[in-house]
Structure 1
Amino acid sequence: MLKARAGGALPLVLALDSDASTPLHVRIGDALRAAILERRIARGARLPASRVLAEDLGCARGTVLAALERLAAEGYLTARAGSGTRVAATLPDDLLPAAGPSEAASPPASSPPALSRRGAALTRAPRHAYLAAPAAPDAFALGRPAPDAFPFAVFARLLQAEWRDGAPPPHPLGDPRLRAATAAYLSATRGVACTADDVIVTAGIRQSLRLLAHLLLDPGEAAFVEDPGFPGIALALVEAGVRPVPVPVGPGGLAIDRVRAAAARTRLAVVTPAQHYPLGHAMSLENRLALLAWAEAAGAWIVEDDYGGEYRYASRPLSPLRALDRTGRVIYAGSFSKLLLPALQLSYLVLPRGLAAPVHRALAETGPAPSGLGQGALARFIDEGHLGRHLRRTRNLYAARQAALLAAAGRHAAGLLEIPPLEGGMHLVARPGPAWPAGLGDVAAARACAEAGIATVALSAYHADPEAAAPGLLLGYAAVPERAVAPAVLRMAEALRAAYARP
Structure 2
Amino acid sequence: MTKPLRLELDRSAKTPLAEQIHGGIRAAIANGVLAPGARLPSWQDLAAQLGVARGTVRAAYEKLSSAQLIVASRATGTHVADRPSFPVRKDKAPAPGSFMEMYQELTAGPAIFQMGVPAQETFPATLLARMRAQAVRVEMSAPAIYPDPRGELDLRREIAAYLALARGIACTPSLIIITSGFSGGLGLALRVLGLESKTKVWMENPGFPFTRHGLALARLSIAPIPVDADGIDVEYGLKHAPDAALVVVTPGQQAPLGSTLSLARRSRLLDWATRRKAWVIEDDYLSELQLKGRATPALASLDRAGRVIHIGSFSKTVTPALRLGFVVAPAALASRFAEAAACLAPAPGPAVQLATADFIREGHYLRHLRRTKRVYAAQGDALLKQLRTRTANVALAGLAAVLRLPDGAPDLAIAREAASFGLAPTPLSLWYASTASARPGLLLGIATSPQKRIEASCDRLFEIIDRLT
**TM superposition score category, shorter chain reference:** 0.7 to 0.9
User: What's the CA shift for 1:320?
Assistant: 1.0
Match of 1:141 in 2: 114
Match of 2:123 in 1: 150
Structure 2 residue 320 is the aligned partner of structure 1 residue 342? yes
Stretch of structure 1 that moved more, 483-492 or 357-366: 357-366
Contact 1:129 1:446 in 2 (8 A): no
* Identical residues among aligned pairs (%): 34
Q: Structure 2: which amino acid aligns with 1:309?
A: S
Match of 2:64 in 1: 56
Structure 2 residue 431 is the aligned partner of structure 1 residue 419? no
Work out the CA distance in 1 between the residues paired with 2:189 and 2:214.
10
Contact 1:224 1:270 in 2 (8 A): yes
**1:416-466 Cα distance to aligned partner (Å, 9 max, x none):** x621234xx22111112xxx5x55321122122122221011111110112
1:308 and 1:229, CA in 2 relative to 1: closer, same or farther beyond 3 A?
same
TM-score normalised according to structure 1 size: 0.74
Match of 2:423 in 1: 454
For residue 394 of structure 1, the aligned residue among 366, 372, 382 is 372
Match of 2:275 in 1: 297
1:26 and 1:158, CA in 2 relative to 1: closer, same or farther beyond 3 A?
closer
Alignment of 1:409-448 (within 5 A): 409-411=387-389, 414-415=390-391, 418-422=393-397, 425-432=398-405, 440-448=409-417
Contact 1:129 1:443 in 2 (8 A): no
User: What's the CA shift for 1:408?
Assistant: 1.8
User: What's the CA shift for 1:306?
Assistant: 0.8
1:53 and 1:304, CA in 2 relative to 1: closer, same or farther beyond 3 A?
farther
Match of 1:245 in 2: 223
Match of 2:43 in 1: none
Work out the CA distance in 1 between the residues paired with 2:292 and 2:22.
58
1:489 and 1:203, CA in 2 relative to 1: closer, same or farther beyond 3 A?
same
Structure 1 gap segments, 5+ residues each: 15-24, 31-48, 72-92, 94-103, 108-121
1:137 and 1:243, CA in 2 relative to 1: closer, same or farther beyond 3 A?
same
Structure 2 residue 152 is the aligned partner of structure 1 residue 207? no
Work out the CA distance in 2 between the residues paired with 1:207 and 1:176.
19
Work out the CA distance in 2 between the residues paired with 1:472 and 1:443.
9
User: What's the CA shift for 1:5?
Assistant: 11
Q: Structure 1: which amino acid aligns with 2:130?
A: R
Alignment of 1:255-270 (within 5 A): 255-270=233-248
Contact 2:383 2:449 in 1 (8 A): no
Work out the CA distance in 2 between the residues paired with 1:335 and 1:65.
62
**1:180-227 Cα distance to aligned partner (Å, 9 max, x none):** 111111111211111111111111222222221121133312221111
Match of 2:285 in 1: 307
Matched residues, number: 414
TM-score normalised according to structure 2 size: 0.79
Work out the CA distance in 1 between the residues paired with 2:35 and 2:445.
59
Alignment of 1:62-461 (within 5 A): 66-67=78-79, 105=87, 126=99, 129=102, 131-133=104-106, 135-166=108-139, 169-220=146-197, 221-411=199-389, 414-415=390-391, 418-422=393-397, 425-432=398-405, 440-461=409-430
Match of 2:458 in 1: 489
Match of 1:34 in 2: none
Partner-residue secondary structure (3-state), 1:156? helix
User: What's the CA shift for 1:378?
Assistant: 0.3
Work out the CA distance in 1 between the residues paired with 2:135 and 2:302.
37
Q: Structure 2: which amino acid aligns with 1:245?
A: A
Work out the CA distance in 2 between the residues paired with 1:57 and 1:193.
65
Q: Structure 1: which amino acid aligns with 2:218?
A: A
Contact 1:304 1:322 in 2 (8 A): yes
Work out the CA distance in 2 between the residues paired with 1:65 and 1:409.
75
Partner-residue secondary structure (3-state), 1:363? helix
**1:248-270 Cα distance to aligned partner (Å, 9 max, x none):** 22221112221222324222111
Structure 2 gap segments, 5+ residues each: 1-18, 40-56, 90-94
Stretch of structure 1 that moved more, 357-366 or 379-388: 357-366
Q: Structure 2: which amino acid aligns with 1:440?
A: A
User: What's the CA shift for 1:141?
Assistant: 0.5
Q: Structure 2: which amino acid aligns with 1:445?
A: I
User: What's the CA shift for 1:155?
Assistant: 0.9
Q: Structure 2: which amino acid aligns with 1:141?
A: Q
